Amino acid sequence: MTPTLVFDIETIPDTTGLRALLGLAASVSDEDVANIALHQRRQQNGTDFLPLYQHRICAISCALREGNNFKVWTLGDADSTEAEIIQRFFDGVEKYTPQIISWNGSGFDLPVLHYRGLIHGINASRYWDLGEDDKDFKWNNYISRYHMRHLDLMDVMAMYNARANAPLDDLAKLCGFPGKLGMDGSKVWDSYKAGGIEDIRNYCETDVANTHLVYLRFQLMRGHLTPAAYEAEIKLVRETLSGYSAPHWAEFLAAWA
């Protein structure tokens, strides 16, 4: 069985890069740099959502299903640099050659990883293989929107039609899964400024757990899991999360219908 790796990233404004792009002095605080950039973005576009290359990744969480095992974790630790956690992600792709699964990964997570990997000089040769090293990748690679080596569940479920996109939180809850637990992407920057990096990492982990559960339901719908196999996979997730001591998993399980 091909390993599956569900992933999700959380980002904050890249204040170092923005300081350089905006020509701001080193004496300008990170918060003021971000405020200036967000204000300019609102004036230009009517939204404070920054261009993807101006985001900095502060957390990458993964859910890996491989062999008889399932686990959820966040790469690195609270003090790891952006370059370190990005390299760890691509090292995992190198090690397992998994099917990677996301919710809006094509529209957000992967382009951000591409830009930030380029900026930091990250090695991601397996990920970028389009058939030059492994001929199988010519017909099924991580880059093509219509290949399944990267499965963007949101994109596929919407038939590649942005007008039909659905939020992960809503779909997870409609399927009987917990959904988001008190935080969403719009709150990450404020939480980060308040020293809440561990809260962000925990939130990111619950997002990949929700995505994995929705993926299992998708596999049931496709006929790739029988009802009995689906229930076994759900049981494995419950048992795994029950074995974790962190409070966010107790909250997640309590919210699971």
Q: What is the pLDDT of residues 5-27, one digit of tens each?
A: 999 999 999 999 999 999 999 99
Q: CATH code for 4-255?
A: 3.30.420.10
**Residue whose entry in the numeric block shows the structure tokens 């404020």:** 190
122 and 60 in contact (C-beta within 8 Å)? no
pLDDT tens readout for residues 156-207: 999 999 999 999 999 999 999 999 988 888 899 999 999 999 999 999 999 9
Domain-wise residue ranges, the chain: 4-255
